[in-house]
Structure 1
Amino acid sequence: MSISIKGDKEIDNTYSIRNKVLKINLNENIYGAFAEIGAGQETVRNFFRVRDASSTVAKTLSAYDKDFSDAIYGPEPQGRYVTEARLKRMLVYETDLMEERITRDKHPDKLFFTYANTVTTIDFAKKYKGHGWLGIRFQTHPKEAYSEIILHVQFHETNAALQQITLGTMGVNLIYGAYYQHDKPKKLLKYLFDHLHKDQIEIDTINFTGPVFEQVDNRLMSLELVKNGMTDAVMFSPEGQNILPANALYKKNILTLRGSFRPVTRVNMSMFEKSLELFLNERKVDKDKTKVIFEITLSNLKAEGEIDEIDFMDRAKLLCALGQTVMISNFQEYYKVVEYFSQFTSERMGLTMGVNTFMDIFDEKYYRHLSGGILEAFGKLFFKSLKVYLYPLKDPETGAITTSENLKVHPRMQKLFKYFKDNGRVIDITDYDPEILDISSREVFQMISEGKSGWEDMLPAETTSMIKENNMFQKSLK
């Protein structure tokens, strides 16, 4: 049988789970181990139900007992087993064991893989819906170094047995995708939901590594997750790696800045620096337990109805170079951002915004879909002790400065605004540089796109250097 593992000309999502498994089983070169902890052996079960499983399944293991699991993979320092670190340890251990036991001399054409998952399904009281990590370490050529796909999922079904079946289906999709769709990572990502619905399971982080994925930027994969509705928000680190929001935000104080950052300007960085100073001076806010998030919504990424990936990557690289953690979300309203964060922490939260944006949140038209209207939205927005740090606005014609002391909201909203203002929930940023208030991201972007000069001093020095060295934003203007 040919060693070829190229994808079919047909659309792969027409394949049933059974047919996907059969195709893998009938390829005499694909051979690997299964290690599944926490929800039974749902993935490998699909392989046993189809003929020729013996040609694919080298070993299957469910080290369900913690002591037994520790004896194989080693103890977890934090005592937590549903973690990315645990999954990686499983993948490496089982792959090394297979390489040790199956000689290449005897099996020169074998393409080894290890599939693993470590999950927890919904608890008896149905308080926690369950989540988990799954991944595959695999080869597409016998002498090739291993590549990996690792993802985190959140279960949405309210029945443990259904969650197990869902996990098994996604596991098959992952193994099939690794071998037959690895050259099309965006399609691979989409096809992970073959024969599944997004109401059943959510993927909130994924990372592709290894020689097969050398050209893959995981920040673009993050973007795909949100674009395809696989999750509401994703995060990536300054290093460009997708990170699990639950881990990054767990029990943290969170300060968030929303913007287009196209590009990030001195005003953006001033807003960040000055609001962070105020935030860290708040009671019970520990610097070591504080996370700053630069958030970009999908609506801020769209140009003429479509998302320009080159434009997105320009923004992402500039923010990462400044050492920032970035979140991409489909949240248009600010209260949804706060609701999202409140899943992971009950600590202090802060939102940094300009006067124009702040005035927009008092517009009732954004809350007509809520039964409680703007009052319901504000009840969610000002979660516990959340505060808004307000950056002033300068009128380009008169030079007048607008702050919370003199801004105008709709007459119906005045009492609501006064309530939050008088209770210290809206804080003016007063220590600002008046000379940079005229800087506009839109004007800077226009100047860069048109090849004009004079914008350089409007941005952080490192940002200006990166834009010039890499010719950023040159292709964004149509």
Structure 2
Amino acid sequence: MGTEIKLKGDKVIAQIPSIKDKALRINLNENIYGTFAEIGAGQETVRHFFRSGGSSGTIAKAMSAYDKDFSDAVYGTEGDGRYVTENRLKKMLTFEGELIEERLSREKHPNKLFFSYANTVATIDFAKQFKGHGWVGIRYQIEPDEAYNEIILHIRFKETDARLQQETLGILGVNLIYGAFYKYNDPKRLLRYLYDHLDKDQLEIDTINFSGPRFADVDNRLMSLQLVKNGMTDAVMFNPEGKNVLPAAILYKKNLLAFRGSFRPVTNVNVDMYRKSLRMFLEENKVEKENTLVVFEITLSNLRSDGEIDERDFMDRAELLCSLGQTVMISNFQEYYKVVEYFSNYTKARMGLAMGVNNLVDIFDEKYYRHLSGGILEAFGKLFYRDMKVFLYPMLGEDGEIITSENLKVHPRMKELYKFFKFNGKVVDIVDYNPDILNVFSREVLKMISNGTPGWEPMLPSGVAEIIKEHHLFGYHPQKTLEQN
């Protein structure tokens, strides 16, 4: 009696705890104790803890300082006058965390694990023009005398109703708190569990950062990669220091020049294309150097090896690009027009794409646009948005001829369309290229490095070979080189 029946052919179904069960488990732990500070979307997270029962053992304080003057009096003023920022969230987490330490004696509560949860959010506006976004985070302990850990993330709402957005935020908050305490040993799983009882079309997470003793070995760039890989966002970015950055913050109102490639590794061709196209871009009307950002983009498909993403290989490329002082974007965009469309969400300034001839020829291949109702014309309407230009780097043909925008071959049906963009100055040649390096290809260099074949160093920019050797990137092993010699 009471034995669970299992039938032949049954599949194992993962049991996801309900939001109530998650909140209740935390409430019933007599040691977990902390504060909730929620601004901009009600007190939706703490509501779940109140309703699940036993909340007095978990909630020291719950507050929402909606009035800006009240908020400033509690957390201090912001230099830019904005309230939905990472800096504001960090102030909230730190202030509330220090307050609980100050007011509750460790002698009286030797086993308490203190935490502060906070969010600062702007939900959809009345005109339904801006869907809203926010910063959400938790600062917490796993051991009473241990330093604090932090998980901070940025979200974008996709729903078009403020009430639904509030409910979504509440569920996310419970998932974050539960994951922080019970899944901290596996950050990748913790990340996936943030979407328990949520759907990707409700919420986008486009930035996340882990810090503290429990996450000492976590590389936040790898966590960013997981966001794209899991379909939680379309693109993530990190700066030359290797830190995750909010795309909206660094793309906003910037002139943008983007390079797409495998960068496996970065070669002299990549650097020559970068330098020459940047110089041409800066000569464009309305393009000021101080308001221009160069973005090196690697697509998810470029990271896949045999169908799987090689994380070590990803980190090798990231290290190399960051060491060259570049801003890196990892995206899920197969087609170029989607990159431009993405950038257009954040800036109306000038945009440029630097690419080789073979990439441009691919753009004029209709097969990539069959899923669009407007076909290739719809895609090109988005690609050549406003003042967008393609800066074209030449290619060495099989017969030794240098191929440029003047003599490249596209499908006969696309010839007139190509001429239209060429005639209107949307495709311009990089003319002062270095002809001596046109025979350098990343895939050949990579093969030489991994096989230990000598002679690859001169094909790379100054200092790159040394970095590859020092850190043993891209399968480099000095023993292989010795054997080859």
Matched, 1:453 2:469: no
Whole-Å separation in 1 of the counterparts to 2:272 and 2:15: 48
Matched, 1:66 2:68: yes
Q: Which amino acid aligns with 1:422?
A: F
**Paired position in structure 1 for 2:364:** 362
**Paired position in structure 2 for 1:128:** 130
**Paired position in structure 1 for 2:400:** 399
- Cα 1:284–1:239 shift into 2, 3 Å: same
Question: Which blocks of at least 5 consecutive residues in structure 1 are unaligned?
Answer: 1-9
Whole-Å separation in 1 of the counterparts to 2:359 and 2:111: 60
2:355 to 335, 353, 356: 353
| SS of equivalent residue, structure 2 residue 177 | helix
* TM superposition shift of 1:475: 8.2
* TM superposition shift of 1:450: 1.0
What pairs with 1:40-189 in structure 2 (closer than 5 Å)? 40-189=42-191
What pairs with 1:214-253 in structure 2 (closer than 5 Å)? 214-253=216-255
* TM superposition shift of 1:398: 2.9
Judge conservation of contact 1:42–1:168 (CA < 8 Å) in 2: yes
* TM superposition shift of 1:461: 2.5
* TM superposition shift of 1:20: 0.6
* TM superposition shift of 1:78: 1.1
**Paired position in structure 1 for 2:480:** none
* TM superposition shift of 1:406: 1.1
* TM superposition shift of 1:11: 9.5
1:23 to 17, 25, 31: 25
* TM superposition shift of 1:30: 0.7
Judge conservation of contact 1:13–1:194 (CA < 8 Å) in 2: no
- Cα 1:213–1:386 shift into 2, 3 Å: same
Q: Which amino acid aligns with 1:429?
A: I
Judge conservation of contact 2:296–2:328 (CA < 8 Å) in 1: yes
**Paired position in structure 2 for 1:266:** 268
**Paired position in structure 2 for 1:423:** 424
* TM superposition shift of 1:122: 0.7
* TM superposition shift of 1:12: 8.2
Judge conservation of contact 2:35–2:115 (CA < 8 Å) in 1: yes
Whole-Å separation in 2 of the counterparts to 1:290 and 1:345: 11
Question: Which blocks of at least 5 consecutive residues in structure 2 are unaligned?
Answer: 1-11, 478-485
Q: Which amino acid aligns with 1:459?
A: L
Q: Which amino acid aligns with 1:96?
A: E
Matched, 1:340 2:342: yes
**Paired position in structure 1 for 2:9:** none
Q: Which amino acid aligns with 1:418?
A: K
Whole-Å separation in 2 of the counterparts to 1:299 and 1:412: 28
Whole-Å separation in 1 of the counterparts to 2:178 and 2:452: 47
Whole-Å separation in 1 of the counterparts to 2:382 and 2:25: 50
| SS of equivalent residue, structure 2 residue 473 | coil
Shifted more, 457-466 versus 312-321: the winner is 457-466
Please give the per-residue CA displacement for 1:136-155, whole angstroms capped at 9, x wherever unaligned: 00111111111110000000
| SS of equivalent residue, structure 1 residue 87 | helix
Judge conservation of contact 2:469–2:476 (CA < 8 Å) in 1: no
Judge conservation of contact 2:452–2:476 (CA < 8 Å) in 1: no
TM-score scaled by length of structure 2: 0.94
- Cα 1:311–1:249 shift into 2, 3 Å: same
TM-score scaled by length of structure 1: 0.96
Q: Which amino acid aligns with 1:89?
A: K
* TM superposition shift of 1:231: 0.5
Judge conservation of contact 2:468–2:476 (CA < 8 Å) in 1: no
**Paired position in structure 2 for 1:414:** 415
Judge conservation of contact 1:265–1:459 (CA < 8 Å) in 2: yes
Whole-Å separation in 1 of the counterparts to 2:276 and 2:409: 24
Whole-Å separation in 1 of the counterparts to 2:215 and 2:109: 25
Please give the per-residue CA displacement for 1:64-99, whole angstroms capped at 9, x wherever unaligned: 111110111111111110010100111111111111
- Cα 1:326–1:286 shift into 2, 3 Å: same
Whole-Å separation in 1 of the counterparts to 2:56 and 2:260: 53
Please give the per-residue CA displacement for 1:242-262, whole angstroms capped at 9, x wherever unaligned: 111111100000000000111
**Paired position in structure 2 for 1:465:** 466
Shifted more, 183-192 versus 119-128: the winner is 119-128
Whole-Å separation in 2 of the counterparts to 1:89 and 1:12: 38
**Paired position in structure 1 for 2:433:** 432
Shifted more, 129-138 versus 462-471: the winner is 462-471
**Paired position in structure 2 for 1:3:** none
Residue-pair matches, total:
466
Judge conservation of contact 1:253–1:289 (CA < 8 Å) in 2: yes
